A = this chain, B = another copy of it.
Amino acid sequence: MLNRTPDLDRLFHALADPTRRAMVERLSRGPAPVSELARPLPMSLPAAMQHLSVLEAAGLVRSEKVGRVRICAITPAALSQAEQWINARRIEWERRLDRLGDYLETLDAKGETDGQGE
């Protein structure tokens, strides 16, 4: 049921790098050419390109060549896929804590008890 993870793998892996997150942050504010993405980074341009292709492989970024310049832009849908997975986990444990709450309430009828907390 949960084996369809090839793109969540790529997605989270892409986001696990500060350089790549910086690129996504930059692109959230609008499209940019490769060289502009690379300029602030402490690495060579080929290295930046490699990060970029990881982002593209993850579906987070889309790019298109215009003349000799490659313009990059984010693909919002990909990010929301990651968000959905996280959300699904939260729903699960919230429901569980909810049931636990119910259970503790039934215990509450008899006295004070707790096994929860930071």
Contact = CB atoms under 8 A, between A and B. Distances in A.
Contacts of A16: 9, 11-13, 15-16
A92 interface: yes
A79 B86 contact: yes
Interface in A15-42: 15-18, 21-22, 24-25, 28-30
A30 B90 CA distance: 12
A82 interface: yes
A98 to B, nearest CB: 12
What does DSSP make chain A's interface, helix, strand, loop or mixed?
helix
Interface residues of A, number: 33
A109 interface: no
A96 to B, nearest CB: 6
B83 A87 contact: yes
Nearest to A89: B28
Contacts of A13: 12-13, 16
A103 interface: no
A50 interface: no
